[in-house]
Every structure is written in C-alpha cells, then in structure tokens.
Amino acid sequence: MHQSYHAKAASSSASKISVRPFLQELKLNPGQPSAQYDLIVANDSTQAQEFNISAVNFGSLDETGGLAFEGSNSIKIDTYGLAKWIGLSQDSFQLESGQQATVRVSVNNDTNLTPGAHYAAIITSAKAQDGSSQQQLSVNPKVSSLLFITKLGGEKYDIHLESISHNGTFWSVPTAATIRIKSTGNTYIVPRGIIKLNQNDLTISKGIINPQSSIVLPRTTRSFEVPLNPLSKHSSGWFFTIYKLQVDYRYDGIDHYATKTIDVRVLNKRSLIALLWLIILVLVIKRLFIDNQNLRKRIKPKSVKPRKR
C-alpha cells in the first residue's frame, strides 16, 4: 500500500470513508507528557458501517514521494517510527450513513522516544458487510491520516542538494529542471527555493521549487521537477551559448538560501549548419583543385630530345 504525500492537504477519502486532517504536525517538548489531536472519521456511504482504526509505521517508497506502509525500510522505521507510542481513544466503532466520529489521537512522550522527527499513519478501514456472497469480490476501503511529530531538545534540521539535471539538449535550452534534495538531519523538511536559467546578467526563465509544500523525510532523498517559465528572449552566440542554471534552495524555518550553479551549453544551429556547409565547400574546392592538377599532368606534352648524329 502506498501513496504520495505533501504538507498542505485538507482531507483524505476513499469511496465510503473520509478522514480529516489528512496530515497533522505536532511539536513535543522534552518535559511534556503527551501531545494530542482529534481525527474526524465520516461515513459517506448510504448505509451503516463498522470501522476499524489503527496506527502503523511507514517509510519512503521512492524519490517521487510515494509511501510504503510497514516494512518498506526496517532501519528507518525503527529510528523514526511512531506507531508504538500512539494511543487511540477507540479502535472500532459503527456509524450510520452521514454520521461522523471523533477519535482522540495521543502520542506518549516516552523516554525512548528520541529527539527529532517521528511519523506514523492512522489507518481507518471499513469492515466487510455481513452476509455478502462469497462469489462476490469484497472491497474494503481504507484511508490514512499522516502524523508527523517533532520531539524538541535535540532536533537537527539540514538540507543537501544531491544533484541537478535538466531536459535541455545540445540544440535547445532547458524548459524544466529536476533536483534531488536530501534531509540530512533527524527531522523532516519542506524544501523551498527558485531555479533560474541565466545568460550573463539576464534571467531567461525561472521556476518555483516545491509549491505543493511536499515533505522530505529524514535521511531520505526526494526528486522535484521544476518547470521553467520563460521571462525574456535569449541571444545566441556565434557557435554556442553558455547559460547558468542556478538553484537557490532552503527549507521552511530559515530565510537564507544556499546556491548551486551548473553550466548549460547550447549549440547555435544556424552557425553549425553554416560551418558544415563551409567545410563541405572547402572539401569540394580542394577536390576540384586536385582533380585539375592531375588532369593537367596527364595532358602535358612530353619534351622530345634531339637525336644524335
């Protein structure tokens, strides 16, 4: 089971269940016994349903933001998993059509809960209806609410730009860039920033990093594709043009940016074609000259030596 996630989502829903909030962030002070929030579960079906609710750990499925629940990466789940410290005010209940229930979610500030980020998912599922035919396919919808908690008193925020790539070619300027960002601290981060394509002091195009407020889990890497929106026309060099792809990046909570720049070289098509034609012309002229020299040698009259008497 996997899904993508970001920091600003209003709700999560399946065909017959909806929960809110989809994502909850909490802070836990060292001396604070626990932290709580209320999870709202609604029955959106046309009949009464019985629901189960539980807490499970999750990990990062890949660099696109997908999540895999319980078992995706046992080391990171042991370090950052939160499920065993979560208590629920109820783990099963029945709702009539259109009804909703409030479940109090509590996080126990255990001494074994280390400073930094921890996270889990609250999974709500509908029980199979009694009396359903065994010949029928039974689909039990499940929805998740993600809980991220940061225990203060030793948390470390840090960001690292792993790589920069783009979709440009030898013949065309980039219209999009892809960056890979890693959270190197013990907390999750929300990256921010701007990518610019510059020619000297002129910005040709730019794009915003992570407008969806996506989260990067601690010690994991996530890819962000950034469309570059054109701002001004660019001029081409005689043979090729050198552009600068500049990435200014940070994470939520700090104001200053780190910067990394790579060169982008784009060939001038017209100049290259003209150069190729010039080379071809030179080769043709050279060939004609050689052929002409050979022809003159063949038709040159031989000198006749006078006979001796």
Could you report the per-residue pLDDT of 242-256, keeping only the tens digit for each?
999 999 999 999 999
Over residues 87-101, mean pLDDT: 95
Reported for 103-106, long-range contacts at CB under 8 A and 24+ positions apart, including other chains, are 103/38, 103/39, 103/40, 103/41, 103/53, 104/36, 104/37, 104/38, 104/39, 105/24, 105/36, 105/37, 105/38, 105/39, 105/55, 105/147, 106/34, 106/35, 106/36
Query: What is the distance of C-alpha 43 from the center of its chain?
Result: 33
CA distance 3 to 110: 29
CATH number of 159-268: 2.60.40.10
Residue 101, exposed/middle/buried by CB under 10 A (0-12, 13-18, 19+)?
Answer: middle
Query: Are residues 67 and 19 in contact, defined by beta-carbon separation less than 8 angstroms?
Result: no
- Mean pLDDT for the chain overall: 86
What pLDDT score was predicted for residue 33? 96
For residue 88, the cross-strand partners are: 105
Q: Tokens 């895999």 label which residue?
A: 68
What pLDDT score was predicted for residue 148? 96
Q: Domains of the chain: which residue ranges? A: 2-129+140-151, 159-268
Could you report the per-residue pLDDT of 18-60, keeping only the tens digit for each?
999 999 999 999 889 999 999 999 999 899 999 999 999 988 7
Res. 79: pLDDT tops 90? no
pLDDT band at 293 (very low <50, low <70, confident <90, very high): confident
CATH number of 2-129+140-151: 2.60.40.10
pLDDT band at 77 (very low <50, low <70, confident <90, very high): confident
What pLDDT score was predicted for residue 74? 55
Res. 102: pLDDT tops 50? yes
* Percentage of the chain exceeding pLDDT 90: 61
Please tell me the least confidently modeled range out of 7-16, 28-37, 69-78, 108-117. 7-16
Q: Which amino acid is at 24?
A: Q
What pLDDT score was predicted for residue 278? 77
How are strands ordered across the β-sheet holding 116-126?
23-28, 142-151, 116-126, 49-56, 92-95
Over residues 74-80, mean pLDDT: 71
What pLDDT score was predicted for residue 129? 66
What pLDDT score was predicted for residue 7? 43
Q: Is 148 left (phi over 0), alpha (psi -120 to 50) or beta?
A: beta
3-state secondary structure (DSSP) of residue 81: strand
What pLDDT score was predicted for residue 9? 42
pLDDT band at 71 (very low <50, low <70, confident <90, very high): low
Same topology for domains 2-129+140-151 and 159-268, yes or no? yes
Could you report the per-residue pLDDT of 132-164, keeping only the tens digit for each?
555 454 556 789 999 999 999 999 999 999 999
Res. 8: pLDDT tops 50? no
* Percentage of the chain exceeding pLDDT 70: 82
What pLDDT score was predicted for residue 300? 63
Res. 72: pLDDT tops 70? no
CA distance 107 to 93: 21
